[in-house]
Amino acid sequence: MRAHQDVIDDYASSLIEPDESRRIAILERVWTDDCIVILPEMCLQGRDEINRHISRIQREYYGIATPTLIGSHDATGPYLRFEWRILTPLGEVMTEGVNVADVDEDGRIKRLIVFFGFRPPVPS
Protein backbone atom coordinates (compact mmCIF):
# COMPACT_ATOMS: atom_id res chain seq x y z
CA MET A 1 0.00 0.00 0.00
CA ARG A 2 1.25 3.46 -0.90
CA ALA A 3 1.59 6.04 1.86
CA HIS A 4 -1.20 8.63 1.93
CA GLN A 5 1.23 11.53 1.60
CA ASP A 6 2.82 9.95 -1.51
CA VAL A 7 -0.58 9.65 -3.16
CA ILE A 8 -1.49 13.23 -2.26
CA ASP A 9 1.87 14.50 -3.52
CA ASP A 10 1.36 12.64 -6.82
CA TYR A 11 -2.18 14.03 -7.03
CA ALA A 12 -0.79 17.57 -6.70
CA SER A 13 1.95 16.83 -9.26
CA SER A 14 -0.62 15.61 -11.79
CA LEU A 15 -2.39 18.96 -11.71
CA ILE A 16 0.69 20.88 -12.84
CA GLU A 17 2.40 18.28 -15.08
CA PRO A 18 2.35 19.75 -18.62
CA ASP A 19 3.52 16.59 -20.40
CA GLU A 20 0.47 14.42 -20.97
CA SER A 21 2.31 11.08 -21.08
CA ARG A 22 4.03 11.80 -17.76
CA ARG A 23 0.72 13.03 -16.31
CA ILE A 24 -1.06 9.82 -17.36
CA ALA A 25 1.64 7.78 -15.60
CA ILE A 26 1.09 9.85 -12.44
CA LEU A 27 -2.70 9.45 -12.71
CA GLU A 28 -2.28 5.67 -12.85
CA ARG A 29 -0.40 5.79 -9.54
CA VAL A 30 -3.05 8.04 -7.92
CA TRP A 31 -6.42 6.81 -9.19
CA THR A 32 -8.18 3.42 -9.29
CA ASP A 33 -9.59 2.19 -12.61
CA ASP A 34 -13.16 3.06 -11.54
CA CYS A 35 -12.37 6.40 -9.87
CA ILE A 36 -14.83 9.28 -9.59
CA VAL A 37 -14.24 12.98 -8.89
CA ILE A 38 -17.26 14.91 -7.65
CA LEU A 39 -17.06 18.66 -8.17
CA PRO A 40 -19.89 21.12 -7.49
CA GLU A 41 -20.46 21.59 -11.23
CA MET A 42 -19.64 18.14 -12.64
CA CYS A 43 -18.68 14.54 -12.02
CA LEU A 44 -15.63 13.00 -13.67
CA GLN A 45 -15.49 9.22 -14.10
CA GLY A 46 -12.23 7.46 -14.82
CA ARG A 47 -8.66 8.59 -15.35
CA ASP A 48 -9.30 9.59 -18.97
CA GLU A 49 -11.95 12.15 -17.95
CA ILE A 50 -9.72 13.39 -15.14
CA ASN A 51 -6.84 13.82 -17.59
CA ARG A 52 -9.02 15.70 -20.08
CA HIS A 53 -10.27 17.98 -17.28
CA ILE A 54 -6.71 18.74 -16.14
CA SER A 55 -5.64 19.44 -19.75
CA ARG A 56 -8.56 21.85 -20.21
CA ILE A 57 -7.84 23.67 -16.96
CA GLN A 58 -4.15 23.97 -17.86
CA ARG A 59 -5.02 25.43 -21.28
CA GLU A 60 -7.49 27.95 -19.81
CA TYR A 61 -5.38 29.03 -16.84
CA TYR A 62 -1.78 28.65 -18.05
CA GLY A 63 0.26 31.45 -16.51
CA ILE A 64 -2.77 32.75 -14.59
CA ALA A 65 -3.20 30.22 -11.78
CA THR A 66 -1.26 27.52 -9.97
CA PRO A 67 -2.84 24.91 -7.68
CA THR A 68 -1.01 24.16 -4.46
CA LEU A 69 -1.65 22.05 -1.37
CA ILE A 70 -1.82 23.62 2.07
CA GLY A 71 -0.35 21.96 5.13
CA SER A 72 -0.62 18.28 5.88
CA HIS A 73 -3.46 15.84 5.35
CA ASP A 74 -5.82 14.20 7.84
CA ALA A 75 -6.69 10.51 7.62
CA THR A 76 -9.50 8.50 9.22
CA GLY A 77 -9.64 4.90 8.08
CA PRO A 78 -9.81 4.89 4.28
CA TYR A 79 -10.63 8.63 4.10
CA LEU A 80 -8.22 11.49 3.51
CA ARG A 81 -8.80 15.22 3.79
CA PHE A 82 -6.45 17.82 2.38
CA GLU A 83 -6.70 21.53 1.68
CA TRP A 84 -5.67 23.42 -1.44
CA ARG A 85 -5.45 26.87 -2.96
CA ILE A 86 -5.19 28.22 -6.46
CA LEU A 87 -2.77 31.14 -6.58
CA THR A 88 -2.18 33.93 -9.08
CA PRO A 89 1.39 34.60 -10.29
CA LEU A 90 1.59 37.28 -7.56
CA GLY A 91 0.65 34.73 -4.88
CA GLU A 92 -2.90 36.00 -4.38
CA VAL A 93 -5.55 33.38 -3.59
CA MET A 94 -8.03 32.93 -6.47
CA THR A 95 -9.95 30.15 -4.75
CA GLU A 96 -9.40 27.56 -2.07
CA GLY A 97 -11.04 24.51 -0.67
CA VAL A 98 -10.92 21.05 0.81
CA ASN A 99 -10.79 17.64 -0.84
CA VAL A 100 -12.07 14.48 0.80
CA ALA A 101 -10.83 11.23 -0.71
CA ASP A 102 -11.84 7.61 -0.26
CA VAL A 103 -8.86 5.34 -0.93
CA ASP A 104 -8.81 1.63 -1.73
CA GLU A 105 -6.69 -1.05 -0.07
CA ASP A 106 -3.63 -0.24 -2.20
CA GLY A 107 -3.84 3.45 -1.25
CA ARG A 108 -5.09 4.84 -4.57
CA ILE A 109 -8.01 7.25 -4.68
CA LYS A 110 -11.33 5.73 -5.77
CA ARG A 111 -13.55 8.71 -4.96
CA LEU A 112 -12.70 12.38 -4.44
CA ILE A 113 -15.12 15.08 -3.40
CA VAL A 114 -14.00 18.67 -4.00
CA PHE A 115 -15.36 21.43 -1.77
CA PHE A 116 -14.71 25.09 -2.58
CA GLY A 117 -14.09 27.49 0.29
CA PHE A 118 -13.50 26.82 3.96
CA ARG A 119 -16.02 26.60 6.74
CA PRO A 120 -15.45 29.13 9.50
CA PRO A 121 -14.39 27.64 12.83
CA VAL A 122 -17.19 26.73 15.20
CA PRO A 123 -17.22 29.13 18.15
CA SER A 124 -16.55 27.47 21.50
pLDDT in tens, 111-123: 999 999 977 677 7
Q: Is the pLDDT of residue 35 over 80?
A: yes
pTM, 2 dp = 0.90
H helices present in the chain, as ranges: 4-16, 20-30, 46-61
Over residues 7-29, the pLDDT tens digits come to 999 999 999 999 999 999 999 99
pLDDT digits (tens, 9 = 90+) for 43-54: 999 999 999 999
Q: Where are the domains of the chain?
A: 4-116
Question: What pLDDT, on a 0 to 100 scale, did the predictor assign at position 49?
Answer: 98
Integer Cα distance of 122 and 24 in angstroms: 40
Exposed / middle / buried, residue 42 (Cβ in 10 Å: 0-12, 13-18, 19+): exposed
**Beta pairing class for 109-116 and 31-39:** parallel
CATH of domain 4-116: 3.10.450.50
Q: How many Cβ atoms from other residues are within 10 Å of residue 23's Cβ?
A: 21
